[in-house]
Chain A
Amino acid sequence: MNDWIAIGALALVGLLIPLGMMLVSYLLRPTVPETSKRATYESGEIPTGGTRVRFNIQYYMVALLFLVFDIETAFLFPWAVAYLDAVESDAISLLEVLGPMLLFVAILLIGLAWAWRNGAVQWAQTPRQVEADSDR
């Protein structure tokens, strides 16, 4: 028997279960249309304002900056584990062990410095900065 038949059967079943549940609930439930049922659910409170709230862009900035350090960590850990063995081994010079990681960190640092200098971690602007901004 072709393996694909099993996959097809699984897909069919996977599709039938949710559809079947929706069908059953549609058949069983009483229908009482009411306007308040269509309102946005806000834990019993009367909803205020729209759902599309604007968050401060700085939240994203911090998240992005965090990513820099996150990636740094992800690479630093395995590197650190192998570091001592590599230094002791004669086959690889210290420069070859240390150099790439220093270069990597340096590149990330340039990115961090750039973000910092361009106001990624600045939550509020001084009046002078606002003025300078509007000049551009």
Chain B
Amino acid sequence: MAIYELPEWTALGPALILAVTALALFAFDSISPRSTNRQLLAGTAVAGSLTSLGVAVWFTVAGVGTPTADGGNGVIDPTHGFVVDQLALYFMIIVAVVTALIVVASYDYLVDHAYQAEYYSLVILAATGMSLMAAADSLVTILIALELASLPSYALVAILKDNRGSVEAGLKYFLIGSLSSAIFIYGISLVYGATGHLELAAIAEVVSGETEAGSGHDITEMGGLLGLGILMLIGGFAFKTASVPFHFWAPEAYEGAPAPISAFLSSASKAAGFVVLFRVFTEAFPLGEIGAVIGFDWTVAFIVLAIVTMTLGNFAAATQDSVKRMLAYSSIGHAGYALIGLAGLTADGGELVMGAAMMHLLVYGFMNTGAFLFVALAEHWGVGRTFEDYNGLAAQAPVACAAMAVFMFSLAGIPPFGGFFSKYFLFVGALEAATASTAMLVVAAVLVINSALSLYYYSRLVKAIWIEDPPATRDRLAQPTGLYAAIIVAAVMTIVILPGFGPVVDAALDAAGAVVG
């Protein structure tokens, strides 16, 4: 394809398109504040995110990031601090897909809402940040992209200004976020202090002893300092991915935020957090060499975090009354599943387990977004928040409820759906890694136990929707086009991703292999 003729900076196209879209929306709002031309605003946002998606897919197909030896175009460095490879494109696709879905769904959700243009441009800005996170390969660009994703998120969570829950959630999110950012920045400074570099590749060279640290010290003397810095970086990422112990914001923020925003945060934002996590730890702190410096491989930290996060998320979800809160905790549990992708890495392998985590994040992007959008639909109907309030919805809205059943079963990992396959690969990958470290056996066992437990609360919701009798006094339910379309697309993708799993598996494994190998 013609990709060679494009200048290198265009490799960041998917993110740049989102940025331009966001600025266009701001510009539009500056020219015509409080416009009620909702079609134009939502249409621009949808067009922007779909274009971004299209470009990212095109780049992937055209072979950006595929090693030149395999006939691809190789990894592209568009500018200082960024890199566009298969991993970046894979997560740009996830971000763009989720953004498109929730923008479409928001059209109905935001009827009669005051801040239309602000809402859309903030969403797109946050998406820009997430997209850039996928491509950032220096701690500075990572920090900036992360904040670009975070700051609009705080505002978005609190955007229902008249809703106390929303404002409270926004404030809590902001406070915990600031704390985490502080820890993260401190971590960056410690890593910089120990190695004298901010770029991931340069850090790796220092860690592996190829070059001297900036201060002239032997890097092994500063193992504790570097280790503390790494741990603080983990903290920052754990906040972004809603992993224990930085998860406290998640239940409140997801519950208080407008449901599409909850979907956005729990799918796209989490995926973006994971891509940075994957990139930083595989590129900057190579396994095998890092052990000599800080005394242990960082996989230990992720094994602990994965176990705790899975368990805490699923256990807390089991007895929730509010559907949205249940989904919030389940989202924490799924972060734990994805962490297995890092926990299972070894010095000379682990594409399978990391690829599985990436597949899970893609599938999760559909099924979790869909589930939250169903909650958005329920909020649109005004039926209430608890499981009991959802009783018998299927009698009145069978299509959406069928989609919800698909999401729930897929989240639980029941075979015909996409969620099963990604979880299955995770399990296999974990077992494969268990040959190197027996702790992974524990991880695999915890994964199974938690999956079994998760089936309990997911099927509880399905039971409420499909089996329980509806209350006598419920009005007819509207069928908002945008929300329905987004939910059905998500459901269809959750199902058809199974026959189409081959390319996804290949893409994920390629992307994982690119950074691991």
Contact = CB atoms under 8 A, between A and B. Distances in A.
- A is bound by B: yes
A59 interface: no
Interface residues of B, number: 9
B34 A114 contact: no
A117 B33 contact: yes
Interface residues of A, number: 9
Contacts of A113: 27, 30
Contacts of A117: 29-31, 33
B113 to A, nearest CB: 10
A118 B26 contact: no
A15 B53 CA distance: 56
A29 interface: no
Nearest to A119: B33
Nearest to A135: B34
A110 B30 contact: yes
Contact of B23 (A107, A116, A118): A107
Most chain B beta carbons < 10 A, residue from A107, A113, A114, A118: A114
A136 interface: yes
Given A113-B30, A114-B26, A117-B29, 13 more contacts: A110-B26, A110-B30, A111-B26, A113-B27, A114-B27, A114-B29, A114-B30, A117-B30, A117-B31, A117-B33, A118-B29, A118-B33, A136-B34
Contacts of A107: 23
B431 to A, nearest CB: 40
A110 B33 contact: no
Contacts of A116: 30
B114 interface: yes
Contacts of B34: 136
Interface in A94-128: 107, 110-111, 113-114, 116-118
Interface in B7-37: 23, 26-27, 29-31, 33-34
Nearest to A114: B30
Given A117-B29, A117-B33, A118-B33, A110 B114 contact: no
B23 A136 contact: no
Contacts of B114: 136
B465 to A, nearest CB: 36
**10 pairs of A and B residues whose beta carbons are closest in the complex:** A114-B30, A113-B30, A117-B30, A117-B33, A114-B26, A110-B26, A118-B33, A110-B27, A136-B114, A110-B23
Interface string B30-69: 1101100000000000000000000000000000000000
Contacts of A136: 34, 114
